[in-house]
Amino acid sequence: MSPVVELEDVRKSFGSLEVLKGVSFSVERGQVAALIGQSGSGKSTALRCMDRLETIQGGRLTVCGHALHEPGVKLSDLRRDVGIVFQGYNLFPHLTVAQNVMLAPRLVRKMSKAQAKDRAEQVLARVGLAEKLGAYPEQLSGGQQQRVAIARGLAMEPKLMLFDEVTSALDPQLTGEVLRVIEQLASEGMTMVLVTHEMEFARRVADRIVYMHLGKVHESGGPEILTRPATPELARFLEAA
């Protein structure tokens, strides 16, 4: 069975700045991969390329069977298969929690209002917010808003979920709420790629750790590399984390 995510010598530049300098790694079905590294190492750019929010300029990138390095890729099909959650929750303030979650299933999957409402109820229960269906984003804590953003991604029944530093704007208590939801998804077998600075969480949840340094995969392996790094660069990064 082919990997859900496969990067082969992926390159990406912004003007004269080369951010990804030949990045290669893969993620199998049911795996959780954590991308770690200092700011500017290219990890968030790599993640954004997986949802074609950024186009690559070299190499090959295949996600859920979609060849993102080819010009004819259908983004609507890709977005059905891939959910992405950012630091900012990006919820519509004028819509209730349920309406925020129902929007994409109705527009993209053409669900009826009743089907979309059922789906919203299911996924909000999964993230522990069943009682917040009628609330507006401003009535929620940051952690609750981030959990709604995760529910919105899950409502599309994706094959892959991407998380970009989803706890970086939250205090420790709210961070714990969100990480517990992601941990639950991992236990259910959801394929995920996370950009995270939470090393203990990565050690506990990830099957694969990818340490990026200066635009390249510098070291990768199982969670044991966080305990026994093979390179001085990763050792220094972990000391400072």
Tens-place pLDDT, residues 130-157: 999 999 999 999 999 999 999 999 999 9
Please give the DSSP secondary-structure letter assigned to residue 131.
Answer: G
Q: What percent of the chain has pLDDT over 70?
A: 100
- Cα–Cα distance measured from residue 236 to residue 240, given in angstroms and rounded to the nearest whole number: 6
- 31: domain CATH number is 3.40.50.300
The band of 64, judged by pLDDT with boundaries at 50, 70 and 90, is very high
Q: How far apart are CA 239 and CA 223, in angstroms?
A: 16
Residues of the domain holding 19: 5-240
CA dist 81 and 96 (Å) reads 25
Dihedral through CA 197, CA 169, CA 85, CA 47, nearest 10?
Answer: -40
Cβ neighbours, 10 Å, residue 89: 20
Q: Does the pLDDT at position 168 exceed 90?
A: no
pTM: predicted TM-score of the whole model, two decimal places = 0.94
Instruction: Compute the distance between CA of residue 54 and CA of residue 45 in angstroms, rounded to an integer.
Output: 7
Beta pairing, strands 208-213 & 32-36: parallel
Name which of 28, 76, 70, 67 is nearest 192 in CA terms: 28
Number of domains in the chain: 1
- The pLDDT, as a whole number, for residue 170 is 86
The answer on pLDDT for 88 being more than 90 is no
Take residue 15 and report the two structure tokens written for it: 């003007």
Judged by average pLDDT, the poorest of 14-18, 41-45, 84-88, 97-101 is 84-88
Kindly state the tokens that stand for 119.
């789906």
Q: Which residues contact 228 (CB under 8 A, 6 or more apart)?
A: none
